[in-house]
Structure 1
Amino acid sequence: MKHVFFSGIDGSGKSTQASYLYYHMKLCGVRLHYVWLRWTAFVSYLLYAYAKIMRRNITLSYRGKRFVIHIYWIDKSLRKLYPLTLLTDLFLRYIVSIINAYVRKARIVIFDRYLLDTIVDLVWETREAKFLRSIIGKTAMALISKGIGVVLDADPIVAAKRKDDVLSLKELMIKRRIYEILAKTLDIHVITSTHRTPYQVYVDLIKILTHRELQLCEYRLNRLKD
């Protein structure tokens, strides 16, 4: 079973490209399992309660939506424990997803967001990367290295215009830089999506996946232009 994941800042086009690949592979008759890898709080629940009591969350309303901003970098305990508990929760979700994929006899699991995105979020929210030296941090990095991954890169200004829930351009700029560093460190392909159509981006993606020995029926590719 192969794992294909899409990572990148909000507005870079992860979900669009993941959907393209899912539809394309379906046309090819391949058994798939699609996962949007967000976490559910289990181990982290008590830590979230602590953060609320200590007022480490800021609630904002923007464009009719409610947002909770984590300022965990100002709290030593949260800086140390939050990455460990959050990655533990994500691993639980990951394991359940893989079990479901085996039950469905899927040949390929497509991850819309992956462990890489959570690591970037954690670096931003704690303002440090020491947790990557821990056993759970090293395990996450190892799993990322074993997958077939793509980081979708977009200019933060363009990406912000694509989304209606982006609060901070600075956040996108810093996260983009973190993605660049991690992609280089882990040898992950980067595809730019700025001022390009989803189909143009997908053509580049197909070349990368073919190079990574993922068999695709390219004669179905034109169906995606519509």
Structure 2
Amino acid sequence: MQTILTGKSSNPYSPRMGHDRFARWRLVMMRRRRLLLSFSGIDGSGKTTQVKLLENRLKQNGIPTVRMWSRWRPLLSLPLLQVLRWTGQLRVHKKDFLSIVEFQDHKNEGVASLWCFATQLENFLKTSLKISLPLALGRTVICDRYTLDLLVDGMSDLHDSPNSLRLGFKLLRLLPRPDRAFLIDTDAEVAFERKPDLPTVSHNVERIRLFRSMYHNAGVKLMDGRRSPDAIHQDVWSLVSGMISSR
């Protein structure tokens, strides 16, 4: 009997057939698995670029994905903001559509704690609502700024240490923990040149100091933001795709 060899194997137990089935199974699992991912870093660090690259990569693999941006905006805390501005206890720096609020009276701990609670309660409620519905619908959510960023902004504006025990900051720790979180770390001067949203470079320096002192305990992966965006993305994707396929 003569055996005719072709390019395709009909043997269901052949390595090639097994590889194809595994690839299809892996893709199905990736589509079913919802994830909460986050990118942190100072303005101009390149985190938004990484968010967009990962969002596109996930969508190309058939994974429903939404992007969420989280930054404090005065709504419930607006009346308190106006009172503290009138009394000279807060200074507001405005740049484009951003408002950076800096606490001036460092000795008035009671007012500082009240302001912290009001703003972080607002952050907690708005961020919870933004991520809850997409996750409930089975979508992967990528956060452009998340808990670590909100903590750093709040502590920097109040001139607090990373060990601050204010009740407002404790609220943020109740937000869902990301399946994978990244901190895009870069130099203060480079970030300020890219995106001068903060009043001075020194504001970037202070925020970088807080990020670097807090990221490890928060379970965040440090990424060198001085590398090319594509190189950073490849490292991010290897971690995210590996995590999805292992679930």
TM-score (normalizing by structure 2): 0.75
Alignment-mate amino acid for residue 117 of structure 2: L
2-side partners of 1:113 and 1:7: how far apart? Answer: 5
Alignment-mate amino acid for residue 118 of structure 2: T
Report the alpha carbon displacement of residue 54 of structure 1 after superposing the two structures with TM.
1.1
Identity of aligned residues (%): 22
Distance 1:149 1:47, change over 3 A: same
2-side partners of 1:191 and 1:148: how far apart? Answer: 13
Q: How many residues align?
A: 211
Q: Is the 8 A contact 1:13 1:193 kept in 2?
A: yes
Q: Rg: which structure is higher?
A: 2
Alignment-mate amino acid for residue 197 of structure 1: S
Q: Is the 8 A contact 1:4 1:111 kept in 2?
A: yes
Secondary structure of 1:133's partner? coil
Q: Is the 8 A contact 2:91 2:103 kept in 1?
A: no
1-side partners of 2:215 and 2:88: how far apart? Answer: 34
More helix by share: 1
2-side partners of 1:37 and 1:178: how far apart? Answer: 18
Equivalent position of 2:7 in the other structure? none
Q: Is the 8 A contact 2:68 2:144 kept in 1?
A: yes
Q: Is the 8 A contact 1:32 1:110 kept in 2?
A: yes
Equivalent position of 1:11 in the other structure? 44
Confirm whether residue 202 of structure 1 aligns to residue 233 of structure 2: yes
RMSD after superposition: 2.7
Gaps of 5+ in 2: 1-33
Which one of the candidate residues 131, 137, 144 is aligned to 1:98? Answer: 131
1-side partners of 2:228 and 2:63: how far apart? Answer: 25
Distance 1:181 1:138, change over 3 A: same
For 1:13-162, list aligned pairs within 5 A: 13-58=46-91, 69-74=100-105, 76=108, 77-102=110-135, 105-129=137-161, 132-134=164-166, 136-141=168-173, 143=175, 145-162=177-194
Report the alpha carbon displacement of residue 41 of structure 1 after superposing the two structures with TM.
2.7
Secondary structure of 1:209's partner? helix
TM-score (normalizing by structure 1): 0.81
Q: Is the 8 A contact 2:116 2:166 kept in 1?
A: no
